[in-house]
Structures are given as C-alpha cells and as structure tokens.
Amino acid sequence: MKPGDRKQLEQYLINNFEWFHRHPELPYEEVQTTAKIRELLTEAGIEVLPYPLATGLVAVVRGGKDAGSSRNVEKAYEGKAAEGIAGVSGRTIALRCDIDALPVREEAAVPYASGADGVMHACGHDFHITAGIGAAILLQERREELCGTVKFIFQPAEEESHGALKILETDAMNDVEQIWGFHADPTNAVGVIGIREGYVTAAVDRFLIRVKGTGCHGAHPDDGIDPILASAAIVQGLQSVVSRSVNAFHPSLLSVTRIQAGTTWNVIPAEAEMEGTVRTMNREDRILYEKRVREIAERIADAYGAEAEVIWTAGPPATWNNGGMARICEETAKKLGMRTVPEESSMGGDDFAYYEDRDTMHRDVPGCYVKIGTGVGHPIHHPAFCVDECVILPASVYLAGVLTAALCDAGDRGN
C-alpha cells in the first residue's frame, strides 16, 4: 500500500472489515481474528508486543527517535516554550479496541454476512478492530512527527465483561498514562461523534439469591415454609433501594431478571432462586447496593421463616470520561469537520472501565470513551445491526487525530 494514499487505505480497510464481519468469534475464542490483526499490523510494519495472550494482542507505534527533542516539542506546541513541558513529549497512551462477537444469528442483509452459524459481530467490534488498525497505520506513517508512544490494545472478550483483565495480566498498561476507547453508535449518522465528560457507562454487578424454605403440600402451607412468598416479598423489597436508599440525583437501577421455583401446581417447593443485576455510576452507591441487597434478602427471608443466601459477583466499574480528554475529542472533531453531540450515558457496562479504575490499576489512569456514529439503524446486539462502511476511514482519521493531539497535549491530566 502506498503511504498517504487515502483512497487505497479506505478500500483496504473496508475489505478487511468485511473479512472480520464474515469471521466473527465468541469471547476468548478470537483465534483467527487475532491472527488476522497480527498479519495486517505486521504487513504495515507495526510492532506487535510479545505477550503470551491466548487471544487479543497489543501493538505499538513509537514516535520518531527525536520525539523528545525541543524541535518536536516546539513544533507540537506551535512555538510555545519547550521548557516545563519537555517531559510530556515522551508519554505513552493507549487506544483500546475490543474484538469479540456475540452469539446472535445474523439477519443483516449484507453481502459479507457472518459465515459462522449463530455468531455475529452484532456490537460493531469488527468496526472497532478495523478503525483501530486504520488509526495505527496512519500514525505509523507519520511516526517521525509523533511526540510519544501509542499502544493499540486489541482486547478479547468484552462481551464477557472481563476480557480487559486478560490484558491487565500483562504489563501492557504499566507505562500507559491515558486510555482511550470508542464504540460504534447506530443512533447517529456517519460524521457525528458523541462526547461527554463524566460517567458514560455503569458498573455492572450481578446477584443470585437462594431462598430456602420447607416444602409441603400446596393445600397445607401451614406445614411448611413457602420460599415463593418470601421471594415475592424480596423482589418488592429490592426495588426500595433505588427509591429509598440512593441519592435521587445518582443514576442507578436494579433488575430481577430470573426467578425460578417449584415443579408442579400442588406442591410448595423447598427452594426458590432469583438472579438479577445492579447498575450504578458511583462507587459509594455500588457498595451501598451490595449491603442493602444482602440485608433485604436475608431479613425478609427471616421474617417469613425462610433463609436467604446472597451471592454477589462484581463486574466492571463505571466508565468516567476525563474532562481534558473529552475536550481533545471535541477539538479534534471540530478540526476534521465532524459534528459532536452529547454522548448518551448508558446503564450498560463496558470493561473498558477496568483500565481507568483505581482499585484495579492502583493509580490514576484518566480515560475517555466516545461514541462514533456508524449510520442510523438497528441497535447494537440486534441481529440486523450493521455498520455503514463509509465510517471506517473517517473514524480511523479521527482516532489518529485524537491520539496525536493527546500526545501533544500538556494540559489537564488530573480530573
């Protein structure tokens, strides 16, 4: 491929996007996907770091060898004194692209539809891969001008909520000062970027409650302890957390999504089981929910003479967009003639949040996660979800622009 030839790059990226779309793989099974990403990056002369990852990989584009020199720093700051900001020039930042698909049977009418039965790139991660590769190629082409290092994290198993932890088992993030992420957005047209400072995705926790009573004849409930009645009261009680325990200005929710008990109409069973999820934006609320769910389940069960066991499984925390980084996203969009809109916050989660989580990272890693309009259509995870291929090159250019600006930015790195 001829460096600088955008038309050729666009066709190359579209061809490869179609390949990824045709070859979707489930979380932790992204073997072919990883091999293809490695092949494309290697072809472009981009270094892939030798981590022992079963799936997913980390690549790196290193800025020009004199990236730390005052010449480049001055160039980057357009004449501002290099003094005091020289240290910034050598920083390392990272872009995360998730690569897994979903167990969805494709219904999209595209000529490059999934070739794997019952598996589909219904969340646009094929677009994330391709735009990530596009951005890497663009930065590699002008790496001499780049004042720092960019790592490209092609992460497995986002849909399982814990793929980020596989990357974090390596030392890939040790020198990373900022983490960038993005997602396909089928609620916006191509050329529109959703940006917001603050919380954009929720913490995802899961609970399982087992209510143990005593089975008996349906006609003689007085002979036993009915776990179904206790469970019904627990479901009602759990909904009081959002309305009575949490600050009304803090978004949160609890959903009981599965409840099971009994085998027939005239027997009161000995046990009932329910499962659900809690979504919060704020760390304190998350702790509060776990405490209240346990108290409500255990004490209501007790009041009915039953016993409740609560199993709490913590998922990724909430994603918080750093203000300074969100501004870089805004400015880059403006420079490229793209339109920006306030990013929709979601009670959905993304394990992107682990990369910026203090409890996981043991330090502050500011992050920013934007939504890239991929053409208005079916929502993500829908069997007919589809990405407008026109977005692939502009998204690559945009991401390369954001990363370049971030490396040159001396500003706000704190909040």
Q: Shortest approach of Ni ion to residue 102 CB, angstroms?
A: 9
Q: Which is nearer to Ni ion, 123 or 225 (CB)?
A: 123
How does strand 92-98 pair with strand 149-155? Answer: parallel
Q: Shortest approach of Ni ion to residue 183 CB, angstroms?
A: 6
List binders of Ni ion among 97-156 (CB under 5 A): 123
Q: Shortest approach of Ni ion to residue 403 CB, angstroms?
A: 20
Q: Which is nearer to Ni ion, 29 or 331 (CB)?
A: 29
Please provide the DSSP assignment of 236-271 as one string.
Answer: HHHTHIIIIIS-TTS-EEEEEEEEEE-SSTTEE-SE
Q: Shortest approach of Ni ion to residue 126 CB, angstroms?
A: 11
Q: Which residue is nearest to Ni ion (CB)?
A: 123
Q: Which is nearer to Ni ion, 124 or 213 (CB)?
A: 124
Q: Which is nearer to Ni ion, 123 or 238 (CB)?
A: 123
Q: Shortest approach of Ni ion to residue 158 CB, angstroms?
A: 6
List, in sequence order, every residue forming a beta bridge with 178; answer none if it has no partner: 93
* Strand spans (E) along 83-169: 92-98, 149-155
Query: What's the start-to-end Cα distance of the chain, in Å?
Result: 41
Q: Shortest approach of Ni ion to residue 338 CB, angstroms?
A: 21
Query: In this structure, which amino acid lies at residue 48?
Result: V
Q: How many residues bind Ni ion (CB under 5 A)?
A: 1
Contact 332, 251 (CB under 8 A): no
Q: Shortest approach of Ni ion to residue 125 CB, angstroms?
A: 6
Contact 415, 326 (CB under 8 A): no
Q: Shortest approach of Ni ion to residue 348 CB, angstroms?
A: 9
User: Phi and psi dihedrals of 348, rounded to 5?
Assistant: -75, 165
Q: Which is nearer to Ni ion, 146 or 157 (CB)?
A: 157
Site string for Ni ion, 363-402 (x = CB under 5 A): ----------------------------------------
Displacement of CA 187 from its chain's centroid (Å): 17
Q: Which is nearer to Ni ion, 123 or 400 (CB)?
A: 123
How far apart (Å, rounded) are the C-alpha atoms in residues 389 and 369?
21
Quote the crossing angle between the two packed helices 31-43 and 6-22, to the nearest 10°: 170
Contact 227, 270 (CB under 8 A): yes
Helix extents (H) in 179-250: 227-238, 240
Q: Which is nearer to Ni ion, 123 or 406 (CB)?
A: 123
Q: Is 134 exposed, middle or buried (0-12, 13-18, 19+ CB in 10 A)?
A: buried
Q: Which is nearer to Ni ion, 123 or 200 (CB)?
A: 123
Q: Shortest approach of Ni ion to residue 180 CB, angstroms?
A: 15
User: Phi and psi dihedrals of 385, rounded to 5?
Assistant: -60, 140
Query: CA 84, 89, 90, 95 torsion: positive or negative?
Result: positive
Q: Which is nearer to Ni ion, 328 or 387 (CB)?
A: 387
Per the listing, tokens 């899961």 go with 206
Q: Which residues bind Ni ion (CB under 5 A)?
A: 123
